[in-house]
Amino acid sequence: MSGEDPAAAFRIEAGELLDQVEQGLLDLGHSLADMDLINAVFRGLHTLKGSGAMFGFDALAAFTHHCETAFDRVRKGQVPATADLVSVILSAQDHMRALVEGDAPAAEGDAILARLQLALENASGAEIPVAEPVSAPRGWRLFFRLPADAMANGTNPLTLLDELRELGEAHIVARTDEVPPLGDLVPTECHIGWDVTLVGDISREDIEDVFIFVMDDMTFEIAALDDAAAAQEDSAASTEIADTTVADSPKTDEPAKAAAVTAARGGESIRVPAERLDELMDRVGELVIAQSRLSQLAHGGDDLVLRSVSEEIERLASELRDTMMVVRMVPVASLFNRFRRLVHDLANDTGKQIALVTEGESTEVDKTVIERLFDPLVHIIRNSCDHGLETAEERAAAGKPETGTVHLSAQQSSGEVLITICDDGKGINRERVRAKAEANGLIQPGQVLAENELLSLIFHPGFSTAAQVTNLSGRGVGMDVVKRTIESLRGSIDVASTEGEGSTITLRIPLTLAIIQGLLVRVGNGCYVIPLAAVEECIELSLEEDLRSRGRSLINLRDRLVPFLRLREMFATGTKPDTHQKIVIVAIGNERVGLVVDQIIGNHQTVIKSLSAFHSSIATFSGATILGDGNVALILDVGQLVAMGQGVDSEEKIYAAG
């Protein structure tokens, strides 16, 4: 054991176990008869109890023991799993979390145990759901191989074989093909696999139960034995396996075993403090810069050897950077899973029937982004459940299915992740939004507003249409916080809503905070980066057109007037405009603005650096980035520029009107 606090290690492990148990319980809530889930929950509780006792968390072990016992009865089919029972165990699981942290009131534990007892009693009265009537096959043919360290970890293969024999008539043959030569043999390691033919009316679950505690790490193959094959295979197996030197026998099971191993390895991961990754990222950034200097040097001379080394390094550096960029990415599944509990609790609190459907969990996003998305999503989902979805009666009256659905999906689209929260509730009541906004003085009575302008009022600070403040939402602090958080992630938020049919909120979030895909442009002598996500198109601004438009800063783009900003003037570069100036049209939501630049250099993917305290208040720039040659380019803050452009726009409209 290392010098680290074992209790801390246990807390981390317990946290993960409890997460698994929670997910299992939530799934179980939907399919009460699923034996796999019941077993998974039981295994989780069992391990928690065991390790808890081992690390001196006695209160936790004692408490968990009761829950484990309850689940053991469910597992053995003595008591059916009921929604009630699942919900009690869920709250028990919260209590376990508190016990792990060491701040759990004992009275609460007792209350939960009392409720558990009650739920069990009620459940025993209920009918046991009939397990799916699988016609049990005449027997099974299975192969298992324990991990090499199984015996060191306290598993006795003989006990397992005995348990199998108890199930029915068993024919067991050992596979010794993996036993290493005597010189390499470590006597405490287990290298033998077993082929077992079990004949009799045995269910698959019974067999799996034998391996319940070693299942995760072992190689296990099982197939039903049909009567014709049974006898034949039996004899074939015995002849084949008796001769353990048969050359192809190890080969045949090699792929299957390899697959089993990869499956187990798939979930393997290492915890690394985020700052170490940041440091690594900085180093990689520096390496890329040093490399580009090397490559300039190499291309300047005639040394072919130097040039080939430099190209090799260039390739490695760019691969390293690509790898670095994906290291920080994690699937959104970890985020989405946390909302299942939230929706479960919300359904209980509101008495509504709510189903959460998630989609695209494998979409990957930077870890920091994921962490910062949690709070805004909680607000949005609460709003959907509390304000959006109706009660079962209301829904039935409106001719909708009684269970309301909240659809949470993630999808990647060119450097951005779209997260959509969609409910099939009653939608946003525009009249109420308008009335409230007028009452708060946000808009003038009778002011004409576009659809999206009206809906975006819900993001205004202090705005909430809930007639009654509930403990869930309605304090009017939610949506503006949501908007601010999303904007701080350089994302944007859109609302769409159809009355009577539901609302959809779409968040557009950059994949990562650390890296930007940008359009590199030149204004005067300086290079600037425009976030590519905001760029809509680039058009040319001819000199004549530029001169003609001196008086106004609007261009006609497909019958729409788009305001534009001359960056050269804004940045006071003191240079003459290029003859072929370009306008980069950028957009945030539906607002567009054109940025006049001297030259478009191209795409540029790079690490974002923040500006020092001296420059953080300059609204035009959101950060800076280091170019390939080591020089610095500023990143334009498109949101601010669009706002400025719109300001120009309205001034000119007033001017035009006057």
Cα distance between residue 81 and residue 122, in whole Å: 11
Cα distance between residue 534 and residue 122, in whole Å: 59
- Nearer to another protein by Cβ, of 41 and 527: the residue is 527
- Nearer to another protein by Cβ, of 236 and 632: the residue is 632
- Nearer to another protein by Cβ, of 98 and 289: the residue is 289
Asked whether the beta carbons of 260 and 214 are under 8 A apart, the reply is: no
DSSP 342-380: HHHHHHHHH---EEEEEE-TT-EEEHHHHHHHHHHHHHH
Cα distance between residue 49 and residue 55, in whole Å: 10
Minimal distance, residue 480 CB to another protein, in Å = 24
Choice from 255, 448, 612, 656 touching another protein (CB under 8 A): 612
- Nearer to another protein by Cβ, of 283 and 432: the residue is 283
> CB under 8 A: which stretch of 106-114, 150-158, 244-252, 615-623 binds another protein?
615-623
Q: In terms of C-beta density within 10 A (0-12 exposed, 13-18 middle, 19 or more buried), how is residue 385 classed?
A: buried
> CB under 8 A: which stretch of 251-259, 284-292, 501-509, 594-602 binds another protein?
284-292
Minimal distance, residue 640 CB to another protein, in Å = 11
Q: Residue 46 catalytic? A: yes
Is residue 630 a contact residue for another protein (CB under 8 A)?
A: yes
Asked whether the beta carbons of 401 and 366 are under 8 A apart, the reply is: no
Minimal distance, residue 306 CB to another protein, in Å = 23
Asked whether the beta carbons of 518 and 625 are under 8 A apart, the reply is: yes
Is residue 624 a contact residue for another protein (CB under 8 A)?
A: yes
Is residue 618 a contact residue for another protein (CB under 8 A)?
A: yes
For the chain, the helix, strand and coil percentages under 3-state DSSP, each to the nearest 5? 50, 20, 30
Choice from 107, 439, 613, 656 touching another protein (CB under 8 A): 613
Picking from 582, 578, 635, 580, the residue whose alpha carbon sits closest to that of residue 604 is 635
- Nearer to another protein by Cβ, of 220 and 571: the residue is 571
Cα distance between residue 550 and residue 539, in whole Å: 18
Choice from 265, 270, 614, 654 touching another protein (CB under 8 A): 614
Structure token digits, residue 504: 């959809």
> CB under 8 A: which stretch of 139-147, 169-177, 595-603, 612-620 binds another protein?
612-620
- Nearer to another protein by Cβ, of 454 and 636: the residue is 636
Asked whether the beta carbons of 41 and 71 are under 8 A apart, the reply is: yes
Is residue 634 a contact residue for another protein (CB under 8 A)?
A: yes
- DSSP-derived 3-state class of residue 270: coil
- Nearer to another protein by Cβ, of 376 and 531: the residue is 531
Cα–chain-centroid distance for residue 313? Answer: 34
- Nearer to another protein by Cβ, of 285 and 478: the residue is 285
Q: Which residue shows structure tokens 């425009």?
A: 530
Choice from 111, 632, 650, 655 touching another protein (CB under 8 A): 632
Choice from 536, 631, 647, 650 touching another protein (CB under 8 A): 631
Cα distance between residue 202 and residue 163, in whole Å: 13
Picking from 563, 530, 537, the residue whose alpha carbon sits closest to that of residue 642 is 563
Among 22, 46, 95, 390, the active-site one is: 46
Q: For residue 552, give the amino acid letter.
A: R
Is residue 633 a contact residue for another protein (CB under 8 A)?
A: yes
Minimal distance, residue 616 CB to another protein, in Å = 9
Q: In terms of C-beta density within 10 A (0-12 exposed, 13-18 middle, 19 or more buried), how is residue 403 classed?
A: middle
Minimal distance, residue 608 CB to another protein, in Å = 10
Element (H, E) at 583: strand 581-588
Structure token digits, residue 638: 């498109």
Q: Calculate the alpha carbon distances from 103 to 6, 60, 100, 348 in Å.
A: 19, 11, 8, 25
Is residue 611 a contact residue for another protein (CB under 8 A)?
A: yes
Residues 6+ apart with CB under 8 A from 504: 420, 421, 422, 495, 496, 497
Cα distance between residue 113 and residue 92, in whole Å: 8
Minimal distance, residue 286 CB to another protein, in Å = 4
- DSSP-derived 3-state class of residue 649: helix
Beta bridge partners of 412: 417
Q: Which residue shows structure tokens 């007892």?
A: 117
Is residue 280 a contact residue for another protein (CB under 8 A)?
A: no
Is residue 610 a contact residue for another protein (CB under 8 A)?
A: yes
Asked whether the beta carbons of 622 and 610 are under 8 A apart, the reply is: no
Q: Residue 344 catalytic? A: no
> CB under 8 A: which stretch of 154-162, 256-264, 456-464, 610-618 binds another protein?
610-618
Q: Residue 383 catalytic? A: yes
Minimal distance, residue 566 CB to another protein, in Å = 12
Among 22, 39, 379, 383, the active-site one is: 383
Among 22, 68, 364, 416, the active-site one is: 68
- Residues numbered 547 to 606 that lie near another protein (CB under 8 A) are 570-573
Q: Calculate the alpha carbon distances from 523 to 124, 537, 575, 583, 616 in Å.
A: 77, 17, 9, 11, 21
Picking from 246, 491, 496, the residue whose alpha carbon sits closest to that of residue 370 is 491
Choice from 257, 526, 587, 601 touching another protein (CB under 8 A): 526
**Neighbour order of strands in the sheet with 193-199:** 169-175, 193-199, 139-145, 219-224
Q: Site size for another protein, by CB under 8 A?
A: 29
Cα distance between residue 422 and residue 428, in whole Å: 12
> CB under 8 A: which stretch of 300-308, 475-483, 581-589, 623-631 binds another protein?
623-631
Cα distance between residue 565 and residue 583, in whole Å: 9
- Nearer to another protein by Cβ, of 337 and 599: the residue is 599
Minimal distance, residue 512 CB to another protein, in Å = 17
- Nearer to another protein by Cβ, of 86 and 527: the residue is 527
Is residue 298 a contact residue for another protein (CB under 8 A)?
A: no
Is residue 244 a contact residue for another protein (CB under 8 A)?
A: no
Minimal distance, residue 627 CB to another protein, in Å = 9
Is residue 276 a contact residue for another protein (CB under 8 A)?
A: no
Structure token digits, residue 494: 């859109």
Is residue 282 a contact residue for another protein (CB under 8 A)?
A: yes
Torsion, Cα 544 560 601 621, to 10 degrees, reads 110
Minimal distance, residue 617 CB to another protein, in Å = 5
- Residues numbered 61 to 90 that lie near another protein (CB under 8 A) are none
- Nearer to another protein by Cβ, of 199 and 607: the residue is 607
Minimal distance, residue 614 CB to another protein, in Å = 4
Is residue 201 a contact residue for another protein (CB under 8 A)?
A: no
Minimal distance, residue 70 CB to another protein, in Å = 55
Is residue 173 a contact residue for another protein (CB under 8 A)?
A: no
The DSSP symbol for 442 reads S
Is residue 304 a contact residue for another protein (CB under 8 A)?
A: no
Catalytic residues: 46, 68, 383
Q: State the residues that interact with another protein by CB under 8 A.
A: 282-283, 285-286, 289, 526-527, 570-573, 609-615, 617-618, 620-621, 624, 626, 630-634
